[in-house]
């Protein structure tokens, strides 16, 4: 860059001398003009609605009558709304299971499929497929597999000797519905995170494993002392993505259980949807959305802090 | 006891064989250096000894056990990698302690060993740092330290100095020699730098294209190379090669070079015998065999004046390397800095043939060795 700029070129006589200051302003304007189209789109379609939603959290609005100021009404309602409580805890439980399970499964898959095994590209594709396949199609198949009466999963369990009265009802059973949804989410998303982990694994220098071999490490020790620490940045990224994604889950639950039976799989976003477009209480639903936003924000900040601290005392 | 024997050791990657049936006996506590041009199979050989590369065929014996199928960790070896391969997420201390920790050595023993080693290598003040906060030379020491704490019988070093600057490299060369003496272990060292090989090795193994060319002490390699490759590889600037034909003058074999007869030392005359009369050979003369004035300690019958055109004079401080044309052949002569020759000068040098080498032009093998 500087080489080109420093090369003495013929002065351009046609152009009037521009002061240094002006040149700076012009440069900035040029840059902004390139950013503008994207930013305008963001402002109109994302930033605006977000600000509007925040404001709406302190209003009463049913979507057709005029908006009325509500003060903290919506906030107090959170404490008396039992469905909100259920949704809140369901979200926490869902996230609490989905994040570690997906992490473990995707890492395990990545480690397995990073081995020089026959047909690994095929298996990689198989593992990635649920992520790219249409959610609707996948969910339909899943519902069939786990159908309490005719599903092959229960048939296998039956032939394995499980008493018919003990067979889980999966999505139709309030005790099993959450587990079903969690399994579905893990299975659907692990292929994507596997790919990210594969990239991470490929970035680890093979010399480190050779050094560990010579130092006398077993396979398990190499995983623990070389692979895991080397994957730490990947794991951080994956867990941040997973946590945010889990707090925002909606479509997968919509396809499998519609939040039921009862409120057993109702999560926050589902509640927001119900309040907004079933009950048409847009103000209150915005308040729930605000709570969700703050929850994700706090957790993400804590996570960043935590890794920063860890980096510092090991550096 | 950790002598090492390589019996017909071979390594193939698919159809490509990169190490061909290598035979080598390495004595206990020997400092042996593998040299050769890039891609000749030095690292592969070393990695087979380390157990990082499967042996295609042949036998590898350490001490008195065949270790072909023994995993690295049970071979009582340690390795220093070219790029050091330090664990980036561990401190220097942990890097060094790792091997002992995996072997479940007691804590106080580990601590003592690491501190002792750090003391020897002068890296005590770095123990709490991570590798990324170290300079190249410091990393190199840590890598050495990591190998040393386990007190293995054999150290394997793959171009450990190649990432260092020239000055540090020469310091480390002498330190490694001292370390070898102190550690009382076998060192197998890979490099493509013949200076490292000459200065540190007890014996040098010269390799080319996966074959061992010659194994001998540095001086013997220099004085009696078995073929043109070794002759050209060992010594800098490299040996000058002149195409000659052997003929007889008054019943005595001489080397004909471009219409001139060059006398041969008795050593070569005996070997040339009758077979080589009229054959094409290559005469090898080291740069120091050319002198500005006739040397006094050499039989005058074995010296000839040669006229050269200087193309380039490279002052090295203690000596000057003259790149010159000798009858359209490029040669390099090593002369004293008093020689004021410049590019374009015509100069008469004296070639001392008493230590000349003679090679068969077809097989490239030495005739007089
Ligand atoms: N995994 C592999 N697969 C195929 N060929 C390989 C493999 N590893 C090494 N080779 C080949 O084997 C030959 C010897 O390689 P090696 O690394 O032993 O060379 P080297 O003598 O150490 O060279 P350098 O001085 O450049 O390190 C090279 O031609 C290289 O291309
Ligand atoms: Mg190498």
Residues B166-178 have pLDDT tens digits of 888 888 898 899 9
Quote the pLDDT of residue B202: 94
B196 and B261 fall within a common domain: no
Ligand 1 pocket check: which of B33, B42, B190 to mutate, most ligand atoms within 8 Å of Cβ?
A: B42
Rg over CA atoms, chain B: 25
Q: Domain residues for B10?
A: 4-233
More confident residue, A42 or B278: A42
CA distances from A150 to A142, A143, B159, B186 (A): 12, 10, 66, 70
Query: Is B85–A208 a contact, with Cβ atoms under 8 angstroms apart?
Result: yes
Query: Is A215–B102 a contact, with Cβ atoms under 8 angstroms apart?
Result: yes
B309 and B193 fall within a common domain: no
User: CATH number of the domain that B281 lies in?
Assistant: 2.40.50.140
Q: Which ligand is nearest to the CA of B35?
A: 1
Q: Is the pLDDT of residue B318 over 70?
A: yes
Residues B155-164 have pLDDT tens digits of 999 998 888 8
Q: How many CB pairs under 8 A join A and B?
A: 63
CA of B44 to the centre of ligand 2 (A): 7
- Tell whether B174 is covered by a domain: yes
Residues B120-152 have pLDDT tens digits of 888 899 999 999 989 888 898 899 999 999 889
Quote the pLDDT of residue B82: 87
Residue with the smallest CA separation from ligand 1 atom 19 is: B39
- Tell whether B367 is covered by a domain: no
Query: Is A225–B87 a contact, with Cβ atoms under 8 angstroms apart?
Result: yes
- Tell whether B314 is covered by a domain: yes
Residues A61-96 have pLDDT tens digits of 887 888 888 778 888 887 888 888 888 999 999 999
B124 and B173 fall within a common domain: yes
CB-CB neighbors (< 8 A) of A221 in chain B: 102
Quote the pLDDT of residue A11: 55
Q: How far apart are CA B333 and CA B356, in angstroms?
A: 14
- Tell whether B369 is covered by a domain: no
Given the structure tokens 């100095």, which residue do they identify?
B161
B122 and B9 fall within a common domain: yes
B120 and B264 fall within a common domain: no
- The distance of A123 to chain B (nearest Cα, Å) reads 25
B37 and B124 fall within a common domain: yes
Final residue of a structural domain among B233, B266, B290? B233
* Opening angle at CA B322, ends B319 and B325, nearest 5: 165
For β-strands B280-285 and B260-262, DSSP reports them as unpaired
Q: How far apart are CA B319 and CA B290, in angstroms?
A: 13
Full-model pTM: 0.81
User: CATH number of the domain that B205 lies in?
Assistant: 3.40.50.300
B192 and B332 fall within a common domain: no
Quote the pLDDT of residue A9: 55
- Tell whether B366 is covered by a domain: no
Quote the pLDDT of residue A1: 39
Residue with the smallest CA separation from ligand 1 atom 2 is: B13
Tell me the mean pLDDT in the region B343-360: 90
Quote the pLDDT of residue A4: 46
Residues A239-249 have pLDDT tens digits of 999 999 999 99
Given the structure tokens 């030379």, which residue do they identify?
B137
Residues B66-79 have pLDDT tens digits of 999 999 888 889 99
- Which atom of ligand 1 lies nearest, measured to the CA of B42? 21
Query: Is A225–B98 a contact, with Cβ atoms under 8 angstroms apart?
Result: yes
Token digits for A167? 């067979």
Q: Is the pLDDT of residue B36 over 60?
A: yes
CA distances from A142 to A170, A175, B73 (A): 11, 18, 48
Q: Is the pLDDT of residue B31 over 90?
A: yes
CB-CB neighbors (< 8 A) of A225 in chain B: 87, 98
Ligand 2 (ion): residues with CB under 5 Å are B 43
- The distance of A233 to chain B (nearest Cα, Å) reads 12
Tell me the mean pLDDT in the region B272-291: 85
CATH class of the domain comprising A81-314: mainly alpha
CA of B187 to the centre of ligand 2 (A): 16
Q: Which ligand is nearest to the CA of B15?
A: 1
Which residues share a beta bridge with B13? B16
Quote the pLDDT of residue A13: 56
B309 and B200 fall within a common domain: no
Final residue of a structural domain among B200, B233, B266? B233
CB-CB neighbors (< 8 A) of A232 in chain B: 89
φ, ψ (nearest 5 deg) of residue B328: 70, 0
**Closest residue of chain A to B88, computed from CA coordinates:** A230
CA dihedral A124, A127, A131, A132 (to 10 degrees): 50
- Tell whether B368 is covered by a domain: no
Q: Which ligand is nearest to the CA of B42?
A: 1
Query: Is A215–B83 a contact, with Cβ atoms under 8 angstroms apart?
Result: no
CB-CB neighbors (< 8 A) of B88 in chain A: 230
Q: How far apart are CA A59 and CA A61, in angstroms?
A: 6
B170 and B295 fall within a common domain: no
The number of distinct structural domains making up chain B is 2
Query: Is B73–A232 a contact, with Cβ atoms under 8 angstroms apart?
Result: no
Which residues of chain A, if any, have pLDDT below 70? 1-17, 310-315
Quote the pLDDT of residue B165: 84
- With helix as H, strand as E and coil as C, how does chain A read? CHHHHHCCCCCCCCCCCCCHHHHHHHHHHHHHHHHHHHHHHHHHHHHHHHHHHHHHCCEECCCCCCCEECCCHHHHHHHHCHHHHHHHHHHHHHHHHHHHHHHHHHHHHHHHHCCCCCCHHHHHHHHHHHHHCCHHHHHHHHHHHCCCCCCHHHHHHHHCCCCHHHCCCHHHCCCCHHHHHHHHHHHHHHHHHHHHHHHHHHCCCHHHHHHHHHHCCCHHHHHHHHHHHHCHHHHHHHHHHHHHHHHCCCHHHHHHCCCCCCCCCCCHHHHHHHHHHHCCCHHHHHHHHHHHHHHHHHHHHHHHHHHHHHHHHHC
Task: Find the range with the poorest average confidence among A75-79, A115-119, B197-201, B275-279.
Answer: B275-279
B27 and B132 fall within a common domain: yes
Tell me the mean pLDDT in the region B219-243: 92
Q: With 0-12 CB in 10 A as exposed, 13-18 as middle and 19+ as buried, what is A112? A: middle
Q: Is the pLDDT of residue B48 over 90?
A: yes
Query: Is B130–A230 a contact, with Cβ atoms under 8 angstroms apart?
Result: no
Pocket of ligand 1 (CB under 6 A): B 13, 16, 18, 36, 38-44, 192
- The distance of A120 to chain B (nearest Cα, Å) reads 21
The segment(s) of chain A belonging to CATH 1.10.3720.10 are: 81-314
B206 and B293 fall within a common domain: no
B137 and B284 fall within a common domain: no
Quote the pLDDT of residue A94: 94
- Which atom of ligand 1 lies nearest, measured to the CA of B210? 14
Final residue of a structural domain among B182, B198, B233? B233
């Amino acid at each position: 860059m500087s080489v080109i700029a420093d090369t003495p070129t013929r002065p351009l006589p046609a152009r009037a001398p521009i002061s240094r200051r002006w040149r700076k302003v012009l440069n900035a304007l040029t840059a902004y003009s390139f950013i503008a189209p994207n930013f305008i789109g963001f402002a109109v379609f994302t930033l605006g609605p977000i600000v509007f939603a925040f404001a709406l959290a302190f209003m009463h609005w049913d979507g057709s009558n005029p908006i009325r100021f509500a003060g903290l009404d919506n906030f107090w309602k959170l404490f008396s709304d039992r469905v909100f409580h259920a949704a809140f805890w369901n979200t926490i439980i869902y996230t609490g299971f989905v994040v570690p399970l997906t992490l473990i499964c995707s890492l395990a898959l990545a480690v397995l499929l990073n081995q020089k095994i026959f047909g690994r590209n095929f298996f990689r594709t198989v593992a990635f497929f649920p992520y790219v396949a249409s959610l609707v199609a996948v969910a339909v198949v899943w519902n069939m597999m786990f159908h309490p009466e005719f599903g092959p999963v229960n048939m296998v369990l039956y032939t394995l000797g499980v008493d018919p009265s003990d067979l889980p009802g999966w999505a139709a059973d309030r005790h099993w519905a959450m587990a079903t949804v969690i399994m579905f989410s893990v299975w659907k998303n692990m292929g994507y995170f596997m790919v990210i982990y594969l990239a991470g694994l490929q970035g680890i220098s093979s010399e480190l494993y050779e050094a560990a071999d010579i130092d006398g490490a077993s396979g398990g020790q190499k995983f623990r002392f070389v692979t895991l620490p080397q994957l730490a940045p990947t794991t951080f990224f994956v867990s941040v993505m997973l946590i945010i994604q889990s707090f925002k889950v909606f479509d997968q639950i919509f396809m499998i259980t519609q939040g039921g039976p009862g409120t057993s799989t109702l999560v926050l976003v589902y509640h927001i949807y119900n309040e907004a477009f079933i009950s048409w209480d847009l103000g209150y639903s915005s308040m729930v959305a605000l709570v969700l936003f703050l929850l994700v924000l706090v957790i993400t900040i804590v996570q960043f802090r935590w890794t920063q601290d860890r980096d510092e005392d090991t550096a | 006891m950790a002598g090492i024997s390589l019996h017909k050791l071979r390594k193939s990657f698919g159809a490509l064989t990169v190490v061909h049936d290598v035979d080598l006996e390495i004595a206990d506590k020997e400092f042996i250096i593998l040299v050769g041009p890039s891609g000749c199979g030095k690292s592969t050989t070393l990695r087979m000894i380390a157990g990082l590369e499967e042996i295609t065929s042949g036998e590898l014996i350490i001490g008195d056990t065949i270790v072909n199928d023994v995993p690295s960790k049970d071979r009582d070896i340690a390795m220093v990698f070219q790029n050091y391969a330090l664990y980036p997420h561990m401190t220097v201390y942990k890097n060094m302690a790792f091997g002992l920790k995996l072997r479940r050595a007691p804590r106080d023993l580990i601590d003592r060993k690491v501190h002792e080693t750090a003391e020897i290598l002068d890296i005590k003040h770095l123990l709490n740092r991570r590798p990324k906060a170290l300079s190249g030379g410091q990393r190199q020491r840590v890598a050495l330290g990591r190998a040393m704490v386990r007190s293995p019988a054999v150290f394997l070093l793959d171009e450990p100095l190649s990432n260092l600057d020239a000055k540090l490299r020469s310091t480390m060369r002498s330190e490694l020699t001292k370390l070898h003496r102190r550690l009382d272990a076998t060192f197998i060292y890979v490099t493509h730098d013949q200076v490292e090989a000459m200065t540190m090795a007890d014996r040098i193994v010269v390799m080319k294209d996966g074959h061992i060319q010659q194994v001998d002490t540095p001086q013997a390699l220099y004085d009696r190379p078995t073929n043109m490759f070794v002759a050209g590889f060992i010594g800098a600037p490299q040996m000058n090669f002149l195409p000659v034909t052997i003929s007889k003058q008054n019943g005595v074999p001489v080397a004909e070079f471009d219409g001139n007869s060059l006398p041969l030392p008795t050593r070569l005359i005996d070997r040339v015998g009758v077979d080589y009369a009229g054959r094409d050979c290559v005469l090898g003369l080291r740069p120091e065999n050319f002198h500005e004035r006739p040397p006094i300690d050499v039989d005058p019958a074995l010296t000839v004046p040669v006229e050269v055109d200087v193309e380039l004079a490279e002052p090295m401080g203690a000596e000057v390397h003259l790149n010159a044309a000798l009858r359209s052949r490029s040669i390099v002569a090593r002369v004293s800095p008093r020689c004021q020759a410049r590019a374009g000068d015509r100069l008469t040098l004296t070639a001392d043939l008493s230590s000349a080498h003679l090679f068969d032009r077809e097989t490239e093998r030495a005739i007089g060795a």
